[in-house]
Amino acid sequence: MEPFSSKYYHSFCNVYLFLLGTSTALNLKVPSELIHGVKGRPLIIPVEYSFNTTVCEIQITWLLNKPDSKSTLLVTAKNRSVIPDLEYQHKVSLSPLNASLLIKELHTGDEGEYTVKVTIQGKHTESQSHKIQVTVDVPVTKPLVHMEPHLGAVEYIGNLTLRCSVRNGTRISYHWLKSGVNIEAGSRYSFSLNKQMFFISPVTKEDIANYSCVVKNFVSQQESEPITPNIYYGPYDLTVNSDKGQKGEVFTVDIGEVILLFCSADSNPPNNYSWFQRFNNETVVITRGPHFEIKAENTAQRTAKYVCCAYNNITGKKDETQFTLVITASGQEKLSQKGSSLPSLAVITAMSLFVIVSMVIIFLWKRCHPHKVIKQKLYSGTQSDYVRTQTFSGHEDAMDDFGIYEFVALPGGSEPSKVSSNKTVSSSSSAQCQDTHTTIYEVISHVPDPL
């Protein structure tokens, strides 16, 4: 029986074989000679074949060759009839049209070398065969990284060992990454035979990074969570800074001002800090801690030398830096200027208040004592006004007339008639008197004489 009877297909095959200059009637193809399968999953081993002649029978045979065992017949097919081996009848199946083998569920025992053989019979009998290697692997699980010692190591003294462990997986290969970059063996880096263990000897500060282990096989790949080793180092780069933004070996501060100093260094664990002052070839402990506050005093000594010391309890190393504090006089001048400006401002303020209060008192005094104004006007008048006042008051003594008066202006026509009759008044004088107003000082209240 002819599975492929298309005239077009036969014509194409004849032309193809003619161009190749070969007389082979059967063509068997295997896409890959190595196939990796996953345990517990199905697997198809693909095979294709073709022929360029008329055939009457086609036979397909699959064999399994295991290490240290004989070949086992899995299945055979003749034309469209498939006959599996009784041992594998529920495990494999065959499609005669393309000779591909299906393994329904892979097991570890299914690993080995598979052989496919295709035979055609027409005018002539011809056969071809191929071998395919099949592996069966268990997927890897996520690995874990363990560090020894887990508390860490001291720089240039201690060593570290990182070990990668996986619960499940077959044919596992191990790879190590440092901050995402593959690690190669070097002067301080080394691995075990299968790279499951990674060694650092000795450790340095540069070894502080994220380390991870990558495990893989033919069918899977997993990466562990990163782990950062604890490495004790330092102190390094000891510096002193101030709250005024100054740093270095010299700090300036004005008299009377306060400066806050900060001592810092790169270290693990954090350093213990101590502050010393050097005076007359002696070193005196001032305080402990990373901060130190100094108040500039007005003393004859305008410079002082200090030392900040950093000590790491784990590494046993220490470092110190010396700096000089310079006290300037600009602060004292500012204080003196500020002190001299305060009295001047006080004097000006006091004088202003005195003027304002005096004006208010004068204003109120004038409002409440109008007789003083009257008295000033009386004394500033002419002698004739005084005589006239005395005449109208009826008293000869001015002290008797002391009191509060009311000014009343009368027209000239109502001039009193108490003028002496023996005196002659001229017509011109009479005319002037008619135009003149007469003032009467009437006593409103009498102020008694002082005792």
pLDDT tens track for 14-35 = 433 343 334 468 889 998 999 9
| Confidence category of residue 89, pLDDT binned at 50, 70, 90 | confident
Say whether pLDDT at 113 is over 50. yes
Who contacts 73 (Cβ-Cβ below 8 Å, separation ≥6)?
61, 62, 63, 85
What value, to the nearest 5°, has the Cα angle with vertex 222 and ends 217 and 228? 130
Please give the Cα distance from 198 to 176 (Å, whole number): 8
Measured CA to CA in angstroms, residue 123 lies from 23, 111, 352 at distances of 13, 38, 139
3-state DSSP call for residue 283? strand
Please give the Cα distance from 354 to 351 (Å, whole number): 5
pLDDT at 335: 45
Say whether pLDDT at 9 is over 50. no
pLDDT at 63: 95
pLDDT at 355: 85
pLDDT at 398: 47
Query: Picking from 11-20, 212-221, 246-255, which range would have the lowest pLDDT averaged per residue?
Result: 11-20
What value, to the nearest 5°, has the Cα angle with vertex 11 and ends 7 and 15? 175
| Residue 65 near residue 113, CB atoms below 8 Å | yes
pLDDT at 56: 84
Among 53-67, 319-333, 414-428, top mean pLDDT goes to 53-67
H helices, E strands: number in the chain:
5, 30
pTM of the model: 0.61
Percent of the chain with pLDDT over 70: 71
Q: Sort residue 281 into left (φ over 0), alpha (ψ -120 to 50) or beta.
A: left
Residue 172's Cβ-side half-sphere holds a number of Cα atoms within 13 Å equal to: 25
| Residue 87 near residue 94, CB atoms below 8 Å | no
Q: Which amino acid is at 36?
A: H
Task: For 201-250, give the DSSP string.
Answer: SS--GGG-S-EEEEEE-SS-EEEPPPB---EEEEEEEEEEEETTS-BSSE
pLDDT tens track for 148-159 = 999 999 999 999
**Paired strand residues for 389:** none
Please give the Cα distance from 60 to 100 (Å, whole number): 10
Query: Picking from 33-42, 315-324, 416-425, which range would have the lowest pLDDT averaged per residue?
Result: 416-425
Task: For 70-120, give the DSSP string.
Answer: -EEEEEEEETTEEEE-GGGTTTEEEETTTTEEEESS--GGG-EEEEEEEEE
Measured CA to CA in angstroms, residue 154 lies from 15, 145, 287, 312 at distances of 77, 20, 29, 11
The residue among 191 and 357 whose pLDDT is bigger is 191
Span 304-310, average pLDDT: 91
| Confidence category of residue 380, pLDDT binned at 50, 70, 90 | low
Among 12-21, 250-259, 296-305, top mean pLDDT goes to 250-259
The secondary structure of residue 401, as a DSSP letter, is: G
pLDDT at 351: 84
pLDDT at 403: 53
Span 69-89, average pLDDT: 88
Question: Which residue, among 242, 238, 264, 262, has the nearest Cα to 252 in the 3D structure?
Answer: 242
